[in-house]
């Protein structure tokens, strides 16, 4: 995609055939390293998030079985609580790190299956439009924003859908603040995604639409602030590179705090 006119071009084009703007290599094409080569380049952040989701889901299943759950299909509520689910903010055991850890937990096979399927589709498109760093920052910010709204409204919640709705919001922002047929089609497509997702939240019991709405709004605002990468890197690119790194570090620290809590205060719960 041309960073200037947003027209679709081939990866081999050095100059946009529509507006004559020089086109540099994509950020995902400039990644090097052994592990980067193992992950499909068009989905680097998306595949990483999916891998973490599946890995942590397996851990919660094993922990739930160890705690006495007879059927290995869904972790029990106490296990999800121990692993960092989002809880109402008025509870004594609420901690800020639950805003992030809850986004990597899932309540069952259908829950994680649907979220992984949707994230593979939406995440890949968002990563292609915004780049790996911006997409990562938007996803993690939306996860925090979604579970902040959820906690403020008294919900117990888990799932990647807060961050997923953040990416939907980011794609709606792209279609809103850019012009042309392609941007209009993107906006229409993801508005439908938003409507279907929110309707499912009303139709199916146990779905936390507050987390969805919070993630959606956070993703839209973050995308409006970040914009899309251009050919010439400016201060916004450097700012969002720094923010993405900071969000990744904060997420890692959140899981460190979770482990420390599990080995101290968490062990008192039984």
Q: In Å, what is the CA distance from 167 to each residue of 95, 113, 216? A: 25, 18, 7
Check 161, 179, 184, 267 and give the catalytic one. Answer: 161
Closest CA to 223 of 163, 150, 182: 163
Q: Which two tokens stand for residue 87?
A: 């809880």
Question: Are the C-beta atoms of residues 46 and 120 closer than 8 Å to each other?
Answer: yes
Contact, 194 vs 172, CB < 8 A? Answer: yes
Alpha-carbon distance of 7 to 19, in angstroms, equals 9
212 catalytically annotated: yes
Residue with tokens 């709705």: 165
Residue 137 to residue 22: CA distance in whole angstroms: 27
- Return the closest-CA partner of residue 171 out of 209, 226, 116: 226
Reference 55, options 104, 21, 20; nearest CA is: 104
Q: Using CA atoms, how far apart are residues 185 and 228, in angstroms rounded to an integer?
A: 17
Residue entry with tokens 């084009």: 13
The one catalytic residue in 106, 111, 125, 212 is 212
| 145: exposed, middle or buried (Cβ count in 10 Å: 0-12, 13-18, 19+) | buried
Catalytic annotation present for 155: no
Active site residues: 161, 212
């Amino acid at each position: 995609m041309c960073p200037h006119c947003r027209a679709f071009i081939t990866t081999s084009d050095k100059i946009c055939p529509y507006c004559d703007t020089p086109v540099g290599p994509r950020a995902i094409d400039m990644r090097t390293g052994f592990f980067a080569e193992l992950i499909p380049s068009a989905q680097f952040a998306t595949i990483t998030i999916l891998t973490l989701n599946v890995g942590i889901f397996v851990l919660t299943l094993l922990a739930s079985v160890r705690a006495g759950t007879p059927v290995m299909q869904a972790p029990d509520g106490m296990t999800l609580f121990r692993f960092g689910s989002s809880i109402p903010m008025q509870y004594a055991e609420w901690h800020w790190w639950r805003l992030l850890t809850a986004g990597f937990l899932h309540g069952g096979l259908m829950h994680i299956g649907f979220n992984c399927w949707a994230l593979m589709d939406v995440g890949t498109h968002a990563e292609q439009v915004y780049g790996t760093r911006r997409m990562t920052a938007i996803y993690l910010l939306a996860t925090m924003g979604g579970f902040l709204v959820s906690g403020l409204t008294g919900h117990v919640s888990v799932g990647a859908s807060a961050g997923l709705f953040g990416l939907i919001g980011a794609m709606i922002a792209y279609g809103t603040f850019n012009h042309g047929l392609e941007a209009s089609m993107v906006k229409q497509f993801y508005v439908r995604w938003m409507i279907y997702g929110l309707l499912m939240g009303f139709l199916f019991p146990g779905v936390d639409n507050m987390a969805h709405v919070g993630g959606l709004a956070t993703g839209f605002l973050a995308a409006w602030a970040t914009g899309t990468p251009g050919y010439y890197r400016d201060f916004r690119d450097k700012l969002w590179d720094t923010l993405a790194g900071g969000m990744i570090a904060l997420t890692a620290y959140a899981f460190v705090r979770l482990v420390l809590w599990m080995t101290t205060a968490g062990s008192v719960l039984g």
